[in-house]
C-alpha cells in the first residue's frame, strides 16, 4: 500500500523532471549545449527518483539510484531495456559537460539526450500511472462493482503480474 507522502513526493519529482526537460530544450535552442546536457540528465535522474519515491527508497549517490532502477525496473522488464542505454549515455554526457573544461558536445548528442529523456519520462509517467491504478484496485477491490473503468484497471494488474514472471 502506498501512502500519500510517497505519492506526493513522486509527483513533485515528476514535475521537476518535466521542468528540467523543458529547460534542456530551451538551452539547446539557445546553443548552450553543456547546460542542455546537464538538464537532460537531471530530467532522467529526477524521473527515476520519482519511481523510487513510491518504493520509499533513495540514495545519496547517483550511481546507486541508477543501479537500483536498472535492477528493479529495467532488468525485470517493467521498463524497456532501451532505457538502460539512454540513462548511461545521459550520465556520461552530463559528467563530461560538467567537468571537462574543453569538452564541446555536438548538437546531435544533446538532441539525442533530450529525446531519450523525453522517452524515459513518458515511460516513467505511464509506469507510475499504472502502479497507482493497480494499488488502488488492490486496496479497494469492492469498488470494482461500481467503477466503469474497473475492467481496464484489472487488466493493468494482470499485465503487471505477467511482467513480474
The Cα-based distances of 76 to 80, 81, 144, 161 in angstroms read 9, 9, 28, 11
| Mean confidence (pLDDT) of the chain | 87
Q: What residue segments make up the domains of the chain, in order of their start?
A: 4-129
The predicted structure's pLDDT at residue 80: 95
The predicted structure's pLDDT at residue 2: 73
Q: Please give the grid coordinates belonging to residue 58.
A: 533513495
Q: How confident is the model at residue 140 (pLDDT cuts 50, 70, 90)?
A: low
By percentage, how much of the chain surpasses pLDDT 70?
82
Q: How many CB atoms lie within 10 A of CB 45?
A: 23
Q: How confident is the model at residue 162 (pLDDT cuts 50, 70, 90)?
A: very low
Q: How many CA atoms lie within 13 A of 26 on its CB side?
A: 7
The Cα-based distances of 40 to 4, 138, 140 in angstroms read 28, 35, 38
CA distance 108 to 98: 18
pLDDT per residue as tens digits for the range 49-61: 999 999 999 999 9
Q: What is the pTM of this model?
A: 0.81
The predicted structure's pLDDT at residue 154: 41
pLDDT per residue as tens digits for the range 46-103: 999 999 999 999 999 999 999 999 999 999 999 999 999 999 999 999 999 999 999 9
Dihedral, CA of residue 17, residue 64, residue 126 and residue 107, to nearest 10: 50
Q: Does domain 4-129 have CATH number 1.20.120.330?
A: yes
CA distance 135 to 137: 5
CA distance 6 to 9: 5
Amino acid at each position: 500500500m502506498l501512502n500519500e507522502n510517497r505519492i506526493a513526493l513522486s509527483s513533485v519529482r515528476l514535475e521537476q523532471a518535466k521542468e528540467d526537460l523543458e529547460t534542456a530544450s530551451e538551452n539547446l535552442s539557445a546553443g548552450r549545449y553543456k547546460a542542455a546536457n546537464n538538464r537532460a540528465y537531471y530530467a532522467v535522474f529526477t524521473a527515476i527518483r520519482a519511481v523510487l519515491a513510491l518504493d520509499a527508497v533513495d540514495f545519496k549517490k547517483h550511481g546507486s539510484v541508477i543501479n537500483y532502477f536498472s535492477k528493479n525496473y529495467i532488468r525485470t522488464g517493467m521498463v524497456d531495456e532501451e532505457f538502460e542505454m539512454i540513462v548511461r549515455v545521459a550520465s556520461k554526457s552530463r559528467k563530461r559537460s560538467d567537468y571537462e573544461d574543453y569538452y564541446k558536445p555536438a548538437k546531435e548528442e544533446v538532441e539525442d539526450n533530450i529525446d531519450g529523456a523525453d522517452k524515459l519520462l513518458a515511460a516513467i509517467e505511464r509506469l507510475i500511472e499504472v502502479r497507482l491504478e493497480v494499488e488502488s484496485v488492490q486496496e479497494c477491490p469492492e469498488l470494482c462493482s461500481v467503477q466503469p473503468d474497473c475492467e481496464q484497471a484489472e487488466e493493468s494488474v494482470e499485465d503487471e503480474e505477467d511482467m513480474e514472471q
